[in-house]
Amino acid sequence: MKIAISAQGNGPDSEMDPRFGRAKCFLLFDSDTKEYKEISNSQNLQSSSGAGIQAAKAVIDNGAEILISGNVGPKAFSTLDSAGVKIFLSEAGSVRSVIDCYLKGELKSANGANVEGHW
Amino acid sequence: MILAIASGKGGTGKTTISLAIAYFLNKRKKSLSIFDCDVEEPNVNLFLNSDIKVTETVYIPVPTVNEEKCNGCGKCEDICKFNAVVLVKGKPLIFPDICHSCGGCKLVCPTGAMNEEVKEIGKLEEGYFENIRYIGGTLKIGEAISPPLINSVKKHIIENEINIIDAPPGTTCPVVESIKGCDYLVLVTEPTPFGLHDLKLSVGMARELELNFGVVINKSDIGDSKVAEYCNAEKIDILAEIPNSLELARGYASGNFMNVFLDNFSDKVERIISKTGIGV
């Protein structure tokens, strides 16, 4: 199973990024191989609109089934939801520790956007 | 003649100046139109109190997809510069809120899967007060894109007559839509660091659009002299300097400042009119 998480750096020890659409980047964790892969989000950092939509698309196209972030807005939620990606929320922590929390079932899932657009 | 009134910073006195000019010309028995292009928070008619005679609903086209005809080629996604169409697992997902109604996705779709439906974005109203015709727009709550509604307001401009446009604040797309094509642009500011900062942005916008423009300094006896110094250095006309006035503020708060303005600052309005060429 592939788990995407918004991150402030490109390794498992970097902090989770609480932003989704304008996150620094995403890390894709494969729970079978235990490997991390970086997904760039650089083009969305400067995007005037639809950053959450494009970030969601990148997560979907990389085959993630689970997304973990701090906050997800309405358009990103709709995009992820349309592809069946499940969203879990965390407040802070390193990528590795947040994923550990998820694997232990400690993160709550989001049933809808938890922030307004342009949060 | 189209005179547009704009400002970088909000709350500097766009509507005050717009209505002062309109009232001045009205008293001289000139007929004119005033357009409230600040469709996100229109306020001209709060002061004018004209009887609203006509209202019309404004719609824009937004795309819909027929999934049976869609072959998942993604051309609709590629052409959309606003991320309003995104291909998810081979099917287009549409976000009408951020669609700019360019029609590009429908144009490039090779299978005819993209259609358009209309979406309401707001309403237009028209009213009359003595010699003043008022046209205003009100954006529907929740809508983010106002330029098409502003464009509908401006379609009521009558060339060769006197038209005054009260623009929204700032220097974004709604402002550009409001002021483009005007014969003269009045930039209202105040002599504060914030007023100066945003005036510089407005001047950049006016120069980019190649408009004739000048500055009105409102509350000119507060703050500092840096706005005037900037205008002099940049060779920008200062059309009028209007001092801070408690009486005017009281009039504004009570909903009728126009007569107070003309009683106290008639000479300033006359100067703006002669400098801009509106109504002469």
Q: What is the C-alpha to C-alpha distance for residues B237 and B153, in angstroms, rounded to an integer?
A: 29
Q: Are residues B26 and B159 in the same domain?
A: yes
Q: Are residues B160 and B91 in the same domain?
A: no
Q: Are residues B35 and B86 in the same domain?
A: no
Query: Is B86 close to A53, i.e. CB distance below 8 A?
Result: yes
Q: Are residues B164 and B200 in the same domain?
A: yes
Q: Are residues B96 and B9 in the same domain?
A: no
Query: Is A50 close to B95, i.e. CB distance below 8 A?
Result: yes
Q: Which of the residues B76, B78, B88 would you substitute to probe the A interface, choosing the one with the greatest number of A C-beta atoms within 10 Å?
A: B88
Do B200 and B71 form a contact (C-beta atoms < 8 A)? no
Q: What are phi and psi of B242, to 5 degrees?
A: -110, 120
Q: What is the pLDDT of residue B137?
A: 95
Q: Are residues B92 and B160 in the same domain?
A: no
Task: Compute the nearest-CA separation of A73 from chain B (Å).
Answer: 13
Q: Are residues B131 and B264 in the same domain?
A: yes
The percent of residues in chain A predicted with pLDDT above 90, rounded, is: 21
Q: Are residues B208 and B75 in the same domain?
A: no
Distance spanning both ends of chain A, measured CA to CA? 30
Q: Are residues B200 and B263 in the same domain?
A: yes
Number of C-alpha atoms within 13 angstroms, CB side, residue B191?
22
Q: What is the pLDDT of residue B264?
A: 93
**CB distance from B74 to chain A under 8 Å?**
no
**Domain C-terminal end among B105, B120, B135:** B120
Q: What is the CATH number of the domain that holds B12?
A: 3.40.50.300
Q: Determine the structural domain holding residue B82 and report its residue range.
A: 61-120
Q: What is the C-alpha to C-alpha distance for residues B248 and B259, in angstroms, rounded to an integer?
A: 9
Q: Are residues B92 and B135 in the same domain?
A: no
Q: What is the C-alpha to C-alpha distance for residues B258 and A5, in angstroms, rounded to an integer?
A: 58
Candidates B160, B172, B153; CA nearest to B10 is B172
**CB distance from B49 to chain A under 8 Å?**
no
Residues of B in contact with A54 (CB under 8 A): 83, 86
For chain A, give every domain's residue range.
2-109
Q: Which of A48, A75, A83 is facing B95, going by the closest CB pair?
A: A75
Would the pLDDT of A66 be above 80?
A: yes
Question: Does the domain spanning A2-109 belong to CATH 3.40.50.12780?
Answer: no
> Helical H runs in B60-214?
75-79, 104-108, 147-154, 173-179, 193-208
Which residues 6+ apart lie within 8 Å of A67 measured at CB?
A3, A4, A5, A20, A56, A59, A80, A85, A86, A87, A88
ipTM of the complex as predicted: 0.75
**Domain C-terminal end among B120, B136, B169:** B120
Q: What is the pLDDT of residue B224?
A: 95
Per the structure, the count of domains in chain B is 2
Task: Compute the nearest-CA separation of A50 from chain B (Å).
Answer: 5
Question: Among positive and negative, which fits the CA dihedral A102, A108, A113, A114?
Answer: negative
**CB distance from A65 to chain B under 8 Å?**
no
Give pLDDT tens digits for B231-267.
999 999 999 999 999 999 999 999 989 999 999 999 9
Candidates B234, B239, B197; CA nearest to B216 is B239
Q: What is the C-alpha to C-alpha distance for residues A45 and B120, in angstroms, rounded to an integer?
A: 31
Written as six digits, the tokens of B219 are 């509350």
> Could you give the angle at the alpha carbon of B230 between the alpha carbons of B6 and B15, nearest 5°?
20
Query: Is A50 close to B89, i.e. CB distance below 8 A?
Result: no
Ranges of chain B whose pLDDT falls below 70: 280
Q: What is the pLDDT of residue B189?
A: 98
Q: What is the CATH number of the domain that holds B102?
A: 3.30.70.20
Query: Is B89 close to A60, i.e. CB distance below 8 A?
Result: yes
User: How many pairs of residues across A and B have Cβ atoms under 8 Å apart?
Assistant: 36
Q: What is the pLDDT of residue A117?
A: 67
Give pLDDT tens digits for B148-175.
999 999 999 998 999 999 999 999 999 9
Q: What is the C-alpha to C-alpha distance for residues B23 and B30, in angstroms, rounded to an integer?
A: 10
Would the pLDDT of A107 be above 90?
A: no
**CB distance from B71 to chain A under 8 Å?**
no
Query: Is A60 close to B88, i.e. CB distance below 8 A?
Result: yes
Question: Among positive and negative, which fits the CA dihedral B246, B251, B253, B254?
Answer: positive
Q: What is the pLDDT of residue B278?
A: 87
**Domain C-terminal end among B95, B120, B145:** B120
Written as six digits, the tokens of B161 are 């007559």
Do B204 and B15 form a contact (C-beta atoms < 8 A)? no
Q: Are residues B132 and B180 in the same domain?
A: yes
**CB distance from B78 to chain A under 8 Å?**
no
Q: Are residues B40 and B100 in the same domain?
A: no
Q: What is the pLDDT of residue B271?
A: 95
